[in-house]
Structure 1
């Protein structure tokens, strides 16, 4: 656990604890960034574990300049949830998209109503379900293009810089009707405390606060709907997608996404979005996408929260998305082959 010395600002003394759900590569990266940033303040940073008992776990981190450091993290076990979770002021969720709701089902009831939850995962969709699970807590969303790889279970290496965008969730009007009046009232009264916002923006390099985080997430989703499934299906690095043979599929998938985003009152323009997709393909030419890696290691992919989310939202507006549906179907077929 990282604790503060006595030289603390008035803002930070109001904070007790930041907790991270998910100790994958990104979760461990965020842990090291946060624990380093708050080392001179009265803030504890811990990791919420699925193990029965709490334990202290050394976490090793290798930075971009190959400097190695180790910090001892407190992993909070199930037996201590009732004691520790009510102290959490900020809960950062770094699990896979399809794991978010299951992870938060037991956690949210134990959180203070004053706690703020930040979802930091690939794809979109879980935020709509989590918004219905809240007991007064406020909710933010984030996206990061920082890159990290696990060298071993408790050793993570940062492999790339990247921008991290964060912002308070503002649900579209047609989803607010799903919320109870009490949830609407509590959510409307809350914004992210400046002390929490400052900690995040100070700790995470190249981080930005966005007043329109949903637009940022749709822009990121446009990149993912093109790169992730195609690199997984064709077993290739991102750069191969610059070849002409993939252009029709990329254009079709992104065109469908832009239509759905516009129907959701998210202002995206097809030429600029396509230009950004191809920029990322070029900039990350030597990289393998996360979905490619999931398929290669026979893991469940996040296709339902990427192309699948486009298909899901399209149905609400009566928009046809045959290309995105086809990509979903192809990835599902690959997943079925794991067990043959």
Structure 2
């Protein structure tokens, strides 16, 4: 149960929705970057119906382990009304059910940042934000990686770039942008892009190749460099370029292919998130990766048979292993 004395001093104005590996990683990085205010200014939002202080462990990329006590707000905590910045770090298929009921409980000026794999949730979220005219929405993606050692201990397993860009509603306030910008470092750059959707489509293309193929063939990322996958990867990319063009996004197939193979090379020893979801019998984000490409194709009366077959195969694999 909530210890009122223990948590009453905490008046957070920044929160992270989702206490998985990436959510906890963002929490630790925000706290480290904003040390002067971190203890009382930053919180996680959990699924439980009571607020609590939770001991967390964080093993950084140098192997050093840090301990902290994090405030985890219940979804009924009245302090949600003070949250000015909310980073949403749940899986793509959880965004609507986790976020939309909270919008009316957050500050009327709260700015939302979606940080998940794939595309799609930004459409219902942007629609919902129309009912809260002073709120705003930023979209983003990160190539950083983190691994859960246990529920409350994560390890930073991969440095990477975080890319963000304003999408709709009110712009991000300068002080909140500064809090995010403080997470920037030479090893972990933070980039702002306008417009942002072109960047997210590029990341979508990388995920649309690596995630389903590694899940279906039960292999690490590096094995996709083999010649036997080359033609299939080429066709996946070509479909994405065509669909994106109809969505107003211009992508260069050669540059996109170069980027895909570069990511395969740089992450050769890694197992994709979709591979891991399948192995651990968890729901995948296929509907928001290849599935999203198919949805946009259908919207424009196009065919995307390669992406459609991949989406169907991963969905079938999920059912088989459930």
Offset of residue 90 of structure 1? 0.2
How far apart are the structure 2 equivalents of 1:316 and 1:29? 36
How far apart are the structure 1 equivalents of 2:12 and 2:66? 25
Partner of 1:24: 20
Offset of residue 338 of structure 1? 2.1
Offset of residue 85 of structure 1? 1.1
How far apart are the structure 2 equivalents of 1:69 and 1:22? 20
Matches within 5 A, 1:77-226: 77-80=74-77, 83-134=78-129, 135-136=132-133, 137-169=135-167, 187=169, 190-204=170-184, 205-226=188-209
How far apart are the structure 2 equivalents of 1:309 and 1:53? 35
Report the more deviating stretch, 104-113 or 124-133. Answer: 104-113
Offset of residue 113 of structure 1? 2.0
Offset of residue 78 of structure 1? 3.3
Q: So what's the TM-score if we normalise by structure 1?
A: 0.88
Q: So what's the TM-score if we normalise by structure 2?
A: 0.93
Report the more deviating stretch, 259-268 or 215-224. Answer: 259-268
Offset of residue 35 of structure 1? 1.1
Partner deviation per Cα, 1:30-88 (whole Å, 9 max, x = no partner): 000011122213761001111111110011000111111011000111341xx111100
- Give structure 2 stretches of 5+ with no counterpart: 1-6
User: Structure 1: which 4+ aligned runs deviate by more than 3 Å?
Assistant: none
Partner deviation per Cα, 1:250-294 (whole Å, 9 max, x = no partner): 111111011111111112111110111011111111000000000
Partner of 2:312: 329
How far apart are the structure 2 equivalents of 1:296 and 1:317? 34
Q: Indicate the SS of the match to 1:156.
A: strand
CA RMSD of aligned residues (A): 1.7
Are 1:53 and 2:40 matched, yes or no? no
Contact 2:221 2:271 in 1 (8 A): yes
How far apart are the structure 2 equivalents of 1:133 and 1:74? 27
